Amino acid sequence: MTRAQVVVTRRPPGAVVEMLRAVAEVWVFPENRAIPRAELLARAPDADGLYCMLTERIDAEFLDAAGRLTAISQMAVGVDNIDLAACTARGIPVGYTPDVLTETTADTAFGLLIAAARRFREGFEEVVEGRWGEWDPLALVGRDIAGSTLGIVGLGRIGQAIARRGAGFGMRMLYTKRRRDRRAEEVLGVEYRTLRELLAEADHVVVVASFHPGTHHLIDRDALAAMKPTATLVNAARGPVVDTDALVEALAGGTIAAAGLDVTDPEPIPADHPLVALPNCFIVPHIGSATVRTRIRMAERAAANLVAALEGRQMPYCANPEVYDA
Ligand code: DGY
């Protein structure tokens, strides 16, 4: 019997290749960069399984080229780069990696909140540029985290992990999500608000809503105007959830005090982009889940998803489980 062929778009950490080789022939894009589109399309016709990263666009063009494809597994929890409906229509399950990155990503979001609200970037730049003068009672005063009001936009797994951190900081916590979650309210002590109410009431707003057409520019000019002028905005979701031009205006004009971003739009953001020049904007390059342990867990969870599919079992973590209803 011929063995299944798997295309891996970039070498992942952990034992992924060994796990996949146990059930299939495996081709790994040999360079340490995102696979070029032309190479991905050229490999598509031979692939029974695809192991991919969030840098690949998995759309109808790719799926049309991948006539043999029976399963896709992505090493990420977000799958907004994948046309899920098109995969479902073709009967292709899509694996993703929830849970294993929740705590690490919540740490990053909370770190960004502290860094932005407490003006770490300006302080760091003073030090490295030799501008650290004598102690000054009013220098670089920021806003408190402990005891303040935190607004969480999107109370999924990561939002709930952020709420647990907020509880440790003695914060009052508000949340908004599509459906009110009374169990989370009970367990975490969070209070439901509409987005507009939350933006007006929170001292700090952390956005972790998943990205889809309905959350594109969820935080737009009006949303930013609804926030307190002393507020911090953190985006640990996907760049386009926040309107970048509106954010530049809001940070430059004092509509809000600071921002901490793990994701941007565009991404990567060019070094000469106006957002990067703003001293009250602290940006890191999409490293929310970037710890050694978590990246290995994500990589191996994605491999386990693909192995299951290639063995004819249901993927343990499937982003379009309705594919199995047909
Ligand atoms: C994801 O998994 O979607 C993150 O953005 C990368 O960890």
Average pLDDT of the residues in 124-132: 98
Separation of 303 CA from ligand 1 center, angstroms?
A: 16
Catalytic residue, candidates 103, 122, 191, 267: 267
* Amino acid 289: pLDDT: 98
| 182 catalytically annotated | no
State the closest ligand 1 atom to the C-alpha of 97, by its place in the atom list counted from 1. 2
Q: What is the 3-state secondary structure (H, E, C) of the chain?
A: CCCEEEEECCCCCCCHHHHHHCCEEEEECCCCCCCCHHHHHHHHHHCCEEEECCCCCECHHHHHHCCCCCEEEECCCCCCCECHHHHHHCCCCEECCCCCCHHHHHHHHHHHHHHHHCCHHHHHHHHHCCCCCCCCCCCCCCCCCCCCEEEEECCCHHHHHHHHHHHHCCCEEEEECCCCCHHHHHHHCEEECCHHHHHHHCCEEEECCCCCHHHCCCECHHHHHHCCCCCEEEECCCHHHECHHHHHHHHHHCCCCEEEECCCCCCCCCCCCHHHHCCCEEECCCCCCCCHHHHHHHHHHHHHHHHHHHCCCCCCCECCHHHHCC
Is 102-283 in the same CATH topology as 4-98+292-325? yes
Which pLDDT belongs to residue 51? 98
Tell me which residue has its CA closest to atom 4 in ligand 1. 76
**Looking at the domain that runs over 4-98+292-325, which CATH code has it been given?**
3.40.50.720
219 pLDDT above the threshold of 90:
yes
Q: Domain 102-283 has what CATH class?
A: alpha beta
**What percentage of the chain exceeds 70 in pLDDT?**
100
- The model's pLDDT over 182-200, given as tens digits with 9 standing for 90+, comes to 999 999 999 999 999 999 9
The domain limits of the chain are 4-98+292-325, 102-283
Average pLDDT, the chain: 98
Arithmetic mean of pLDDT, 258-277: 98
Encode pLDDT of 222-238 as tens digits: 999 999 999 999 999 99
Report whether pLDDT(326) > 90. Answer: no
